[in-house]
């Protein structure tokens, strides 16, 4: 079963600030087959503004 996860601006900002849970999610998606994270461009802009 595949996991597809869309990160919003708050999740990306949390990861950028060192949030442990967000970091674990990113790591898991990197190491597990069939796990995919998506970062929409508009959410990247909003996370950068925050």
Over the stretch 13-46, which tens digit does the pLDDT of each residue have?
Answer: 898 899 999 999 999 999 999 999 998 887 777 7
Apex CA 47: angle with CA 32 and CA 36, to 5°? 20
pTM exceeding 0.75: no
Rounded to whole angstroms, how far apart are CA atoms 35 and 4?
A: 6
Inter-residue contact 44 to 15 (CB < 8 Å):
no
């Amino acid at each position: 079963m595949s996991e597809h996860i869309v990160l919003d601006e708050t999740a990306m900002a949390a990861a950028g600030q060192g949030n442990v849970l967000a970091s674990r999610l990113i790591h898991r998606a990197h190491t597990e087959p069939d796990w995919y994270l998506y970062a929409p461009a508009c959410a990247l802009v909003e996370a950068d503004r925050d």
